[in-house]
Structure 1
Amino acid sequence: MRFVAMGDSFTEGVGDELDGGAVRGWADLVAAGLASGLDESVDYANLAIRGRLIRPIVDEQLEPALALSPRPDVLAFNGGGNDMMRPGFDRDEIVRLTQRVVKRTEREGVKLLLQTGADPTDGLPRGEMLRSRVTVFTDMLTELEDTYEHVTFVNNYADEEMRRAGYWAPDRLHLNALGHRRVAARVLTALGVPTELPSLEADHQAPTGVLVEARYYATYVLPWIGRRLTRRSSGDGRSAKFADWVRIEPEAVEKA
């Protein structure tokens, strides 16, 4: 099995931080879960870079992913989330670029995994605007799965459980370790490795209050606005964490 992932911070694994500053995330967990569930080694690559808009993802990651040798069996693609948070959101461009990925993978005989991120809008400023944009995008991905035999679609956005604050990192935009594990379980099940969904305790409560909100805006919202105004990205200067195949062995899988 050869599994490659492309995308932005969601696929890179931001929010699931490891000791030393590296990130893990759902795609790493899927690679490990495939190795364990299939009881065989899995070759894994991850070309995702945080902060990327959908056009750079497709322009800069698609062909390198398909050019990996040997060719991938499964390519996971997620993009558009950063576009949806910007004023100049262009739905038609997102549709065109997603269709480009669909048709290229079909020509190459590579299975395509499409998915949405989970729904962060309860905790975000202008969350209703983002929700309306994602709903249209989700409908399009559902149609692609119905149309193309090689496409599998995982709708994490429809997972009501993951809207709870306990699945999200302090920035409220990226999933935390538990959130990434839940996404990985949904993806593994879709890929034929049935995996139990990890969940929060029913009585889990996130901290709330004026001081909590003030710290959140000062720590995350204002710096995000500053990057937009100066046209900087959190991914500037970064490269893919696994630009070529790495071998994942079944016996090396962490039992989290």
Structure 2
Amino acid sequence: MEFVNAFAGTASYYRRFRPGIPTDVAALLDQAAPKSSPRRLMDIGTGPGLVVYALLPYFDDLFAVDAEPTMLAEAEAVLRPVLSTDHRLQTRHALAEDFVPPEGWRPHLVTCGRVFHWLDQPRFLDRLSEYVAPDGVVAVFSDRSLWTGNCSWQQAAREVVQEFLGEQRRAGDGFFSPVGPPYEEVLRASDFCDVTSTIVPVHRKWSVDQVIGYLYSTSFAAQHLFGDRLDAFEAALAGALAPFAEGGQLPEGNAFTVLTASRPSARKER
């Protein structure tokens, strides 16, 4: 999948408007991963570093990987100022399926937050099996996007996007590929076949401006896709959302589905 082209031009919006990783999800990942010193985290498709930021209290040796250079620049801007002297952060511009960390660097946790769909999943998991620590954990997790959200105002927003960009979900200049097998099934077919699934509810409130910024962070409503109709889109969206706003805010009920996967022998080793 063309992950890089799909998110061209979205990095600054992604940094400012994508919701972060809830503390409950971060704590769950901490509990799932083996303890070690140094404790190593590798975040795939790091974007502006939202996952790394949430896991800073739990890991000290950090690798952030992304296929989009502008995303890595945002991650550096977000993460460097908040690192302690105990942290070591490395960033790499690479495709997840091709990336191999330095010799001897074996992550205890590999995170794929909101990115697994874009990967050649079997190839990526095969590559991970070459270098993840023996008792290491792979975590695949995401919440519902505005396109798939089930709140009334989200459905109204999606209809406005479709009015301007067409019924089919976009992915940058192309279209979103069909959903493949369930992620849990893909993981169970890999070396990381000991899989646990957890649902973590989240509740948010959005302003109309935040919704617009969020949409511009996505592959299906990136700002450049609207061309000279951008102002018309924003006006139409604001009008469609106004009836749903409560005191200027749009409430959302969402949830993270978190899959943690390890090799069958790892549970015995901990």
Higher strand share: 2
Judging by fraction of residues, say which structure has more helix. Answer: 1
TM-score > 0.5, shorter chain as reference: no
**Higher relative contact order structure (alpha carbons within 8 Å, sequence separation ≥ 6):** 1
Q: TM-score range by the shorter chain?
A: 0.3 to 0.5
Instruction: Pick the structure with greater CA Rg.
Output: 2
